[in-house]
Amino acid sequence: MSNVFYRSRKSYPVAVRAEGVFIEDAQGQRYLDGSSGALVANIGHGRTEVAQAMAAQVSQLAFVHGSQFSSEVLETYAARLADFLTLPGFRFWGVSGGSEANESAIKLARQYHVERGEPGRFKVVTRVPSYHGASLGALAASGMGARREVYAPLIREDAWPKMPKPDPSLSGLQDAERLRAVLEAAGPETVAAFICEPVVGASDAALAPNAGYHAHIAKICREYGVLFIADEVMSGMGRCGAPLAVRLGWEVTPDLVVLGKGLAAGYAPLAGLMAAPAVYDTVMNGSGAFKHGFTYAGHPVSVAAGLSVLDIVEREALVTAARERGAQLLSGLQALQARHPQVLAARGHGLLLGLVLGDPETGEAFPQPGLAERVAAAAREEGLLTYPGSGAVDGTRGDHLLLGPPLSISVAEVAVMLAALDRALATTGVSAA
């Protein structure tokens, strides 16, 4: 018997080592990591350079508490990150995971308005579907019924007015304009922030709005005094072929940018928040302190991992690689769509790509989710890991697969992924059950 608390009663192979895009289990089976775990392992596995940077940091300074010290590595990293993301003057708040980072963003937005003398602003407009994290605040913000329903009594619904998901049949401007009606209905004087994933991840298979959407969202937010939070936990750090997905094809600077996953690419738990100078200054010139904190905030070893990962991303031009390999993978996925009628759409940006699965007769999701899980299981049999999900229709239904290998994947490895996926789609067939 194992003493491990597994996530579910399915059986889990025991991973023993990983290198490049491959993970190997205790039976010697090798898997191509076609989803970078959950879109995390951006630089691939087994980079000794990162291990060395972390070991050096452990020896020099493993931990200080954020209420007492900053650290050299944190100071250097915050500056490097602001440069990489072209967010001049933004302040980095480091935490351990994306849920903590979104909690921090929501609390900072709330405190910002309290400091400005508008304590009535407590609501955060979010979209359906969306996923912002598993902790209760971040989950409350998420428009993902399947992950929320068990916890419903703990979630105050009226604090999270909902905006519909991006509609690719609308121009980016018309699409974003729908935020105005949501704000008016909620009472704009009660709204602290709007949060969205610039390219949607776990809830809707790499769905992205048309060009101009985010710039117009930012404009409406400014008009109503609402902060714009871009949740780039999955889409950021080069994954979508640009340092920030919110800027794909348009110029926009959100008030708060939330990062995670690719930040330390799985080498250490690291996520964080970049806060615009105006937000930071309002708090510091007001009460003088962000009333929030985690023990491991800005952990020196995690930050050292992040710094080393950033070195590799820049040196190996992995943002460009994400664009190039992404184009190759997307055109292969479109070819699969033409061959397998249960693939209703193939889409995404860079190496955040998705397949929408459903009923070819109706062009809609099957009534019960499950096909994505079955395709993922078949792909795994073929030695390919993918990230299945559901929720695209209304936060509960709709099958999809996310594909997002390390940005360092080679041309030949992308071809291996596509061949395995082709076989998996052929074996699972078209039906829901």
Phi, psi at 125, each rounded to 5°: -80, 130
Q: Is 231 near ligand PLP (CB under 6 A)?
A: yes
Interacting residues with ligand PLP between 311 and 330 (CB under 6 A): none
**Cα dist from 70 to 67, 75, 93, whole Å:** 8, 7, 11
If one asks whether residue 201 binds ligand PLP (CB under 6 A), the answer comes out as: yes
233 binds ligand PLP (CB under 6 A): yes
Nearer Cβ to ligand PLP, position 138 or 425?
Answer: 138
Binding segment (CB under 6 A) for ligand PLP, from list 27-35, 212-220, 229-237, 307-315: 229-237
146: contact with ligand PLP by CB under 6 A: no
| Contact criterion met (CB below 8 Å) for 220 and 179 | yes
Closest by Cα among 177, 221, 200 to 130: 200
**Single residue of 35, 42, 57, 102 touching ligand PLP by CB under 6 A:** 102
Nearer to ligand PLP by Cβ, of 344 and 402: the residue is: 402
Nearer to ligand PLP, 42 or 342 (CB): 42
* Binding footprint of ligand PLP, residue count (CB under 6 A): 17
Q: What are the phi and psi torsion angles at 90 (to 5°)?
A: -70, 150
Least Cα distance to 167 among 157, 178, 152 occurs for 178
Q: Please, what is the angle between helix 48-60 and helix 300-315, to 10°?
A: 150
Query: Is 133 an interacting residue with respect to ligand PLP (CB under 6 A)?
Result: yes
Residues 252-281 that bind ligand PLP (CB under 6 A): 260, 271
Minimum CB distance to ligand PLP, residue 132 (Å): 5
Nearer to ligand PLP, 213 or 366 (CB): 213
Q: Which of 57, 99, 337, 428 binds ligand PLP (CB under 6 A)?
A: 99
234 binds ligand PLP (CB under 6 A): yes
CB 197 within 8 A of CB 161: no
CB of 339 to ligand PLP, least distance (A): 29
- Comparing CB distances to ligand PLP, the nearer of 237 and 378 is 237
Rule CB under 6 A: is residue 386 a binding residue for ligand PLP?
no
- Sequence-distant (≥ 6) Cβ neighbours of residue 13 within 8 angstroms: 25, 26, 27, 29
Cβ atoms of residues 159 and 122 within 8 Å: yes
Q: Sign of dihedral through CA atoms 413, 417, 420, 423? A: negative
CB closer to ligand PLP out of 369 and 404:
404
| Complex with ligand PLP: residue 233 or 256, whichever CB lies closer | 233
The residue ranges of DSSP E strands in 294-386, in sequence order, are 343-349, 352-357, 384-385
Smallest CA-to-CA distance from 239 within 130, 329, 149 is with 329
Nearest-approach distance from CB 205 to ligand PLP, in angstroms: 12
CA neighbor of 201 nearest in space, from 133, 103, 274, 101 = 133
Q: Which of 99, 126, 8, 130 is nearest to 391 (CA)?
A: 130
Stretch of 97-105, 155-163, 173-181, 413-421 contacting ligand PLP, by CB under 6 A? 97-105
User: Judged by CB under 6 A, does residue 202 bind ligand PLP?
Assistant: yes
Q: Which residues, 159 to 198, sit near ligand PLP by CB under 6 A?
A: 197
What are 59's two structure tokens? Answer: 């020896």
Question: Residues in the site for ligand PLP, rule: CB under 6 A?
Answer: 38, 97-99, 102, 131-134, 197, 201-202, 231, 233-234, 260, 271
